[in-house]
Amino acid sequence: MIKELASGIGAALIFLGLLFKGLFWWMSLLLAVGSYVGIRLLFPPEQRRVLAELPDGVSREDFLEYLAQCRLALSLIREDAAAVSKSSFRQTVLHLCGLGDELLLNFEKDPQDIRMAQALPDRLQRLHEIMTGYNDLAGQRSQSPQTSRALEETEKAVTKAVAKFEQMHHRLLENDAIDLSTSAKTFDNLLDFD
């Protein structure tokens, strides 16, 4: 009987040891996670994003408003493009929107570049208005020669806008290429001194 009692107590102790060991592991894990969260709340990580220098006379709020106006106008133009029945013209408008997106990404990386495109929000808003008028006219069942001419002129104007956006994008890329070349030459000169 004592032997059975000792055996039972031994089994209970082994079971409690395993339970405590598993419980201890879970408690350790919870304590570690809680500590990590607590440290992050007390000492948040530094901003990793480098804030680029804004052009003179442009506040952060003005810059963000500029980007928001451009994004809103681009989204409206995309909606206009979806309503265009002529697929080649629709693709032209969507290409223009893609160029607009690339310009905005460039402006986010280098806000100084908005000096080259200060009127962009206004131009995009006007383009939206033109596209709305184009879709209204194109949706009419009967077309007069004047209506057809107006639609063609609108398509030409948008095609010209695409060319202007591409020129602007190329100029911005050229500026980035010059900056990169200058940095590479400076680095190369530093290596020569080592």
Structural domains of the chain sorted by starting position, each given as residue range(s) with its CATH number in brackets: 60-178 (1.20.5)
Residues 64-88 have pLDDT tens digits of 899 999 999 999 999 999 999 999 9
pLDDT digits (tens, 9 = 90+) for 110-143: 888 888 888 889 999 999 999 999 999 988 888 8
CA distance linking residue 178 with residue 158, whole number of Å: 30
Rounded to two decimals, the pTM is 0.64
